[in-house]
Amino acid sequence: MKNLFDVSGKVAVVSGGSSGIGAMMARGLVENGAKVYITARKEERLMAMAEELSKLGECIAIPADLSNVAGIEDFVAAVSERESKVDILINNAGANWAAPIEAFPEKGWDKVMDINIKAIFFATQKFLPLLKSSGNADDPARVINIASINGIRNSGMPTYAYSASKSGVIHLTEHLATDLASYHINVNAIAPGFFPSNMTKQIVENDGMTKMAISQIPRGRMGAPEDIAGTALYLCSRASSWLVGQTIALDGGMISRP
């Protein structure tokens, strides 16, 4: 029982790991002994995060554009050159676009869909050989998809592609979980609520908007790094080996409120 949450020695990949909740999850894994690969498109910020996390353990940065299959294949090839297996794949990279329905552009819709849902499917597909090499009946490989509570409810904001894509992540998680369980690969998702990140920067930096957002959270605060890191550790460890196809709403009770 003392080793239920142990991830030491595991190889993890975190997309969108240069900032926000991706960096929070990567830090939690590194601090607990995992070897973590992080990727993002903005190389300077990615390298800076890898340097910071490398002070705590082993973190390797590989810049990549996961919005297209060619970019995903290049990234998987780079990891494959270094590793014979991947124990943990966290599909976290995400994008958002807000515009009134009358003016919502096709390029905004496509950008969000390419990063938020297409990239999850094809990254999982291309990493399958490495994930299959890791998983076994007692300790399956793990895929964690990052959804959002706005894929469960109406956010009240004109982020139509984001809401649709995150709802798709939840259903895709269930579908992949069913198909991959026989390969000893557990697929689950996290649907975060209000966490400090680039996507919530405008809210976090505005006291009035922050107070309004927090007023909607029964727990009375925004999410902390420990909240997302702890949930990721649970989903990556022996503690969750019997959990398959589930989405955890990590929102301080927002979904549950009347």
Q: Find the catalytic residue in 37, 160, 162, 183.
A: 162
Long-range contacts of 45-48 (CB under 8 A, 24+ apart): 45/18, 45/19, 46/17, 46/18, 48/18
> Which amino acid is present at 167?
S
Catalytic residue flag (residue 160): no
Residue 48 tokens read as 């800076």
Pairing of strands 185-192, 58-61: unpaired
DSSP notation for 58-91:
EEEE----TTSHHHHHHHHHHHHTT-S--SEEEE
What is the rounded CA–CA span in Å between residue 180 and residue 245? 10
What is the rounded CA–CA span in Å between residue 234 and residue 161? 30
**Residues labelled catalytic:** 162
